Amino acid sequence: MTEESGPYCETPPAESPERAEGPPYAECVLCRKPTEYAESVKGITLCPVCEWQEAQRTACSG
C-alpha cells in the first residue's frame, strides 16, 4: 500500500450517544460502574475506562 492511497485503516469511529448532563447515569455493561450516559440511553453503555480499553482492542494495528 502506498501513502497516496490513504491510511491503512479507514474504519469510521463508532457513533456514541450524547453525554448526560447529570445523574442518573447508566451502568457500564462490563464493570457496572457509572458511565457518562443517561440511564435512558439504549444499547451498550461503557464507562470511560472500558470505552478506552475497547477502543484499544478494536484499533487497527499496523
pLDDT at 19: 75
**What pLDDT shows up at residue 1?**
47
What residue type is 35 in one-letter code?
T
Per-residue model confidence (pLDDT) at position 5: 53
Per-residue pLDDT at 6: 55
H helix or E strand, kind and range, residue 25: strand 25-27
pTM given for the model: 0.59
**Which residues in the chain come in under a pLDDT of 50?**
1-2
pLDDT for 24 equals: 85
The CA distances from residue 14 to 11, 20, 22, 23, in Å, are 9, 18, 23, 24
Neighbouring-strand partners of residue 49: none
